[in-house]
């Protein structure tokens, strides 16, 4: 990793000259003409064309602070979390976008939310009304066709805007069709079992939004409700004992959110409120063997958030920001596992867990010189987690989370960023409750003694823009980890060992990343093209909780790369693209099991015909070539550090081609 950091410094010194710099170099503005050749239909299409910008939709964690994505709309983040930032941007018509600002480091009046680079979508205020209708379908080589459709209404009148949308999407299992498992016992006897896999479902979502001036400020509100369901099944044609597996799940979610911004002299006040509710039920059955196995789960969840921000420009070069957030979250979960009609007792099968969290933060953005920007601050988090179940307890935590980022604008094309930050993970409430995977005989007990993982992050990044639309970003990230969350053994009151997700100690993680966008206009037959390249190398070390031997973090791919090519064909009023992903290799560790997962390379193709600004016809193929996905598992008679190997299992399934066609029409 040291060599990687030195290589980045060398690149900086070689590529950067002493060109003049000013503060405006930190904000790049992209007008609609920049995107004209691509004929974008939505704001998301425009975001995808920003040079050197990698879209981050947010991680969906509880609360707002530090968990949102890297795109703002009129300087504000959407309060919706159920819908997701990607879908919000997909609903904004490109014709309604005035311009997009890409902010590096900081800008007056912008809450960067801890992001190094932020895009701000500025919408037009001219009066307009539109209805967008979309219809499409997924088709599979099995002959199955799953339709989808959406309709949305948008109205803008000056500072007021209204939106309403209804959408039905398809959910499906990419591995539908034939697969097989080969099981080898300790004596070397192998048995091959053929599989036939199926799975599909859908998601229905209703969203509404409003934005208007209110009491001298800007008010916006949104409401959303959605329901998703999924059914899957597998037939195991075992030569001795055929079995069938079936499962069903249904998720229902709803939310109401609002935000308000008001100028109080030079100070800007921001207030955000959100209420979310969720209900999930699932059931699965593995039958046909010596005994039937059943697992059922019921989970109800909720989240209430209040977030307050005050921003004050102390001088032209120094902006202060402070505020706080309060959030209450809960999960009530019940799970039931039966074997041959008899209930199997698993620790923490019925749990009620809640978290009350308060956060206070203060940050400063200081333009030290025209070419040097310091963004620094600290967040302090107080939380109390209360659990009721096999263990009833209440635990309180306090964590300071300092952050510093120095942005050095070398010239109008080059930027160097140095960041140091203490980040705190969030506990997955689902880890407090037991779960069962029937098809792989995995029983995971709930763990009432979890602590959030912590990481000190040190990052160095260099960004260089070239050829008008080209950009390359090289970054090196080092992390010092504590309270790492991983699989570990847990003994119940009878001394029986179970797998749980828990804290296993300290470790470290390093990553080197390269993201490049290369315009190909200088190559005659590739005019209007753009090549995208993503490369990542990873290394880590943590002590295995059973063996005590250092190993990688669980499910970490040592390296990954992907590339894509997209080209606008003006003569054909079309855009086509092809994307390649090299696949992955991951390894997981459990109490009596080691699993390796391999995914072969994947190729996807898309073509979109855009005869005018209001009509789009799109056709795509995912998994152009059938891709094998392999799981290799070793099972042991007990803890894998001391017990003998009892079975070796290889499962191979396939991601087969699926075809998608859609037509999108905008009515004014």
Share the mean pLDDT of the chain.
89
pLDDT in tens, 85-136: 888 898 889 989 999 999 876 666 666 776 778 899 999 989 999 999 999 9
| Per-residue pLDDT, 15 | 43
In this prediction, residue 9 has a pLDDT band, given cuts at 50, 70 and 90, of very low
Question: Is residue 657 within 8 Å of residue 623, measured between CB atoms?
Answer: yes
| Per-residue pLDDT, 65 | 61
Provide mean pLDDT across the span 372-394: 91
| Per-residue pLDDT, 14 | 45
Distance CA 275, CA 64 (A): 12
In this prediction, residue 447 has a pLDDT band, given cuts at 50, 70 and 90, of confident
Question: Is residue 146 within 8 Å of residue 137, measured between CB atoms?
Answer: yes
| Per-residue pLDDT, 108 | 60
Provide mean pLDDT across the span 559-577: 94
44 membership: H or E segment, kind and range = helix 43-47
Alpha-carbon separation of residue 231 from 79, 197, 622 (angstroms): 31, 11, 21
In this prediction, residue 76 has a pLDDT band, given cuts at 50, 70 and 90, of confident
Alpha-carbon separation of residue 99 from 113, 120, 218 (angstroms): 21, 9, 20
Residue 540, domain CATH = 2.40.170.20
Question: Is residue 611 within 8 Å of residue 573, measured between CB atoms?
Answer: yes
Question: Is residue 119 within 8 Å of residue 50, measured between CB atoms?
Answer: yes
Q: What angle do CA 455, 372, 514 make, to 5 degrees?
A: 50
| Per-residue pLDDT, 10 | 45
Q: How many folded domains does the chain comprise?
A: 1
Higher pLDDT pick, 9 / 255: 255
pLDDT in tens, 492-544: 777 778 888 899 999 999 999 999 999 998 877 788 899 999 999 999 999 99
Distance CA 115, CA 27 (A): 14
Q: Where are the beta strands (DSSP E) in 5-123?
A: 27-30, 71-73, 97-104, 117-123
Question: Is residue 633 within 8 Å of residue 175, measured between CB atoms?
Answer: no
Handedness of CA 43, 48, 49, 53 (dihedral sign): positive
Provide mean pLDDT across the span 162-184: 89
Question: Is residue 412 within 8 Å of residue 471, measured between CB atoms?
Answer: no
Question: Is residue 329 within 8 Å of residue 429, measured between CB atoms?
Answer: yes
* Domain span holding position 448: 2-667
Distance CA 294, CA 269 (A): 53
| Per-residue pLDDT, 552 | 94
Distance CA 194, CA 180 (A): 4
Least confident of 50-64, 128-142, 289-303, 602-616: 50-64
Q: Where are the beta strands (DSSP E) in 340-434?
A: 342-343, 350-369, 372-388, 393-409, 414-424
Distance, C-alpha 622 to centroid of its chain: 20
Provide mean pLDDT across the span 340-359: 91
Question: Is residue 150 within 8 Å of residue 133, measured between CB atoms?
Answer: yes
Question: Is residue 319 within 8 Å of residue 335, measured between CB atoms?
Answer: no
113 membership: H or E segment, kind and range = none
- β-pairing verdict for 342-343 and 318-339: antiparallel
String of b and e for 642-654 (b: at least 16 CB within 10 Å)?
Answer: eeeeeebbbbbbb
Distance CA 251, CA 253 (A): 7
Question: Is residue 358 within 8 Å of residue 379, measured between CB atoms?
Answer: no
In this prediction, residue 278 has a pLDDT band, given cuts at 50, 70 and 90, of very high
Residue found by looking up tokens 């957030």 in the block: 325
The runs of H, that is alpha helices, within 100-205 are: none
The DSSP secondary-structure symbol of 92 reads S
């Amino acid at each position: 990793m040291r060599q990687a950091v030195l290589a980045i410094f060398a690149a900086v010194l070689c590529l950067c000259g002493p060109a003049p710099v000013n503060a405006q170099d930190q904000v790049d503005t992209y007008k609609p003409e920049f995107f004209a050749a691509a004929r974008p239909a939505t704001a998301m299409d425009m975001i995808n064309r920003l040079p050197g910008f990698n879209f981050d939709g947010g991680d969906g964690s509880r609360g707002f602070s530090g968990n949102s994505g890297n795109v703002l709309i009129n300087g504000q983040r959407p309060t919706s979390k159920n819908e997701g930032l990607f879908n919000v941007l997909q609903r904004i018509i490109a014709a309604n976008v005035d311009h997009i600002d890409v902010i590096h480091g900081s800008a007056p009046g912008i809450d960067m939310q801890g992001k190094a680079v932020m895009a701000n979508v500025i919408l037009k205020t001219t009066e307009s009304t539109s209805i967008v209708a979309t219809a499409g379908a997924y088709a599979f080589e099995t002959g199955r066709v799953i339709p989808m459709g959406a309709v949305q209404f948008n109205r803008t009148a000056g500072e007021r805007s209204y939106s309403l949308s209804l959408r039905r999407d398809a959910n499906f299992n990419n591995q539908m069709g034939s697969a097989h498992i080969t099981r080898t016992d300790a004596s070397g006897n192998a048995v091959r079992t053929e599989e036939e896999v199926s799975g599909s479902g859908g998601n229905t979502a209703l969203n509404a939004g409003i934005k208007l001036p209110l009491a001298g400020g800007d008010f916006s509100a949104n409401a959303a409700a959605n329901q998703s369901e999924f059914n899957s099944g597998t037939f195991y044609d075992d030569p001795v004992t055929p079995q069938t597996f079936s499962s069903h799940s249904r998720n229902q979610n709803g939310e109401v959110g609002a935000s308000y911004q008001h100028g109080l002299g030079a100070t800007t006040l921001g207030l955000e409120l959100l209420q979310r509710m969720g209900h999930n039920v699932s059931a699965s059955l593995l039958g046909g063997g010596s005994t039937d196995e059943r697992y059922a789960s019921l989970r109800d969840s909720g989240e209430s958030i209040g977030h307050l921000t005050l921003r004050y420009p102390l001088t032209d070069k120094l902006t202060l920001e402070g505020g706080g957030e309060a959030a209450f979250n809960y999960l009530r979960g019940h799970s039931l596992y039966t074997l041959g009609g008899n209930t199997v007792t698993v620790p923490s099968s019925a749990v009620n867990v809640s978290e009350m969290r308060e956060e206070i933060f203060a940050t400063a953005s200081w333009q030290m010189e025209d070419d040097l920007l310091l963004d620094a601050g600290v967040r302090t988090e107080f939380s109390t987690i209360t659990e009721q179940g096999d263990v009833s307890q209440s635990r309180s935590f306090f964590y300071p989370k300092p952050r510093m980022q120095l942005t050095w604008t070398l010239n109008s094309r080059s930027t160097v960023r140095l960041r140091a930050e203490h980040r705190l993970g969030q506990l997955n409430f689902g880890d407090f409750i037991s779960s069962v995977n029937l098809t792989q005989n995995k029983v995971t007990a709930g763990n009432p003694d979890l602590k959030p993982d912590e990481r000190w992050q040190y990052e160095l990044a260099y960004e260089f823009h070239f050829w008008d639309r080209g950009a390359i970003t090289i970054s090196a990230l080092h992390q010092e980890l504590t309270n790492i969350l991983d699989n570990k053994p847990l003994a119940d009151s009878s001394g029986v060992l179970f797998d749980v997700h828990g804290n296993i100690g300290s470790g470290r993680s390093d990553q080197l990343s390269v993201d490049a966008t290369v315009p190909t206009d200088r190559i005659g037959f590739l005019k209007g093209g753009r090549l995208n390249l993503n490369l990542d190398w990873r290394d880590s070390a943590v002590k295995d909780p059973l063996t005590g031997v250092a190993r990688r973090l669980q499910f970490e791919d040592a390296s990954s790369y992907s590339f894509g090519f997209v080209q606008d064909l003006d003569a054909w009023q079309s855009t086509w693209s092809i994307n390649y992903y090299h696949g992955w290799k991951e390894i997981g560790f459990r109490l009596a099991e080691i699993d390796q997962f391999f995914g072969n390379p994947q190729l996807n193709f898309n073509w979109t015909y855009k005869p005018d600004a209001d009509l789009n016809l799109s056709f795509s193929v995912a998994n152009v070539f059938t891709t094998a996905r392999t799981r290799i598992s070793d099972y042991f008679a007990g803890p894998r550090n001391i017990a003998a190997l009892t079975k070796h299992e290889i499962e191979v399934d396939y991601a087969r081609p699926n075809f998608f066609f859609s037509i999108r029409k905008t009515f004014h």
